[in-house]
Amino acid sequence: MTAAEEVAKASLSSTVPDEDDPVLESGFKASAPLMSAWTSLVGPTLPHLSRPLLDRCGRVFAVLAGSPRDSEGWSQVVQEAGDALKRAQAKFKFDRKKAVHRRGRYASITCGISYGGGQQHPGNLAHTPHNRIVVDELLKNDAIRRLAGFGDACMRLYAPRLYEYYAGTMDIVCRDNPKLKRNFERGVFGAATFNLGPKVVTYVHTDHQNIPSGWCAVTALGDFDYKKGGHLLLWDVKLAIEFPPGALILLPSAILRHSNATIAPRERRSSFTQFSAGGLFRWVECGCRSQKVFSAEGNTLAMTGAERWLRGVGMWSTWGQLKSALGRK
């Protein structure tokens, strides 16, 4: 674990909404500290209500964003997105060796702009011509695009400074290489993963190649009883969170160990995740060149890992800032 991740883990203290103090129509609640034992966090009464999780400094480090207010229309979007993933699973030609991996036993497709793992510069993740057609069908699907747009909008609402950092980084990366193609126009995230299932139940893991203070946007899909299974388990803050199909959760997946509760034998669960590789941010900080080249030229990074962490959590909104931004007391 890096020094930045150690600082990150030390600063997190989980909190859950206090039902006695509703403060926003969007469903935000004030927060109270958890006990040391695991806590089951039941979803809001209405699916469009949201709940933040705060650290001990009152910063929003994760958001149970729920779904848009158009519940009937959103149900159709969720159904269509799930169907799109089923079609993709039938068409995509998978490497069988990659069906079992450190996150679980299920097939997935990752696409978009990334940097790391031996790449000399940022690039679009490669696929065979056949599989590229399948990926393009997913990215052009109206329901998938709505899921992506909702993830972007929620990040912009709850963490506007972090959102601008992501957006600015992507703008610089794409200006540096105009041949790069974003998954979605104006999309703030560099890449996306379609976890196809049929039973996406992840092992305990972190997404360590993302920046520690960064967020990923995860939307659950499928047909399962979310009261009995499919919960998002956050091990470091001891939360078991109901995660119904169509709901969105934003979380710092690089530092929080997370997994899913199992689902029943005949149920199906998939998910759609958006994220940005930490390498993209390092590329920009090094003046659009690799850190190896940057260092060989006699340069040094302006910040240490711990300093970058503190800058990163400084981009998280505090509870007071969010209330003030919406003109609430």
Look up residue 255 and give its two tokens: 């530092």
- What DSSP letter does each residue of 25-69 carry, written as one string? TT--EEEEEPPSS-EEEPPPSSTT--EEEE-TTSBEEEEEEE--S
Single out the residue of 220, 267, 268, 228 nearest to residue 245, CA to CA: 220
CB 250 within 8 A of CB 234: no
Give residue 310's Cα distance to chain centre: 20
Q: Are 188 and 170 in contact (CB under 8 A)?
A: yes
3-state secondary structure of 329: coil
Local confidence band at 15 (pLDDT 50, 70, 90 cut-offs): very low
Helix axes 3-11, 305-313, angle to 10 degrees: 30
pLDDT of residue 95: 78
What's residue 20's pLDDT?
A: 31
What separation in angstroms does the CA of 28 have from each of 80, 126, 146, 208?
29, 40, 22, 29
SS (H, E, C) 227-279: CCCCCEEECCCCEEECCCCCCEEEECCCCCCEEECCCCCCCEEEEEEEECEHH
User: What is the reported pTM?
Assistant: 0.85
pLDDT band for position 232 (50/70/90)? very high
Dist CA 222 CA 234 (whole Å):
21
Banded pLDDT at 149 (limits 50, 70, 90): very high
Q: Above 70 in pLDDT, residue 2?
A: no
pLDDT at 35 over 50: no
CB-based contacts of 262: which residues, under 8 Å, 6+ apart? 201, 229
Contact 77, 146 (CB under 8 A): yes
Q: What is the pLDDT of residues 154-195, one digit of tens each?
A: 999 999 999 999 999 999 999 999 999 999 998 999 999 999
pLDDT, position 25: 27
Task: Quote the CA–CA distance of 303 and 299 in Å, as a whole number.
Answer: 12
Please give the pLDDT value at position 118: 80
**What would the pLDDT profile of 65-98 be if each residue is shown by its tens digit?**
999 987 679 999 999 999 999 999 999 998 776 6
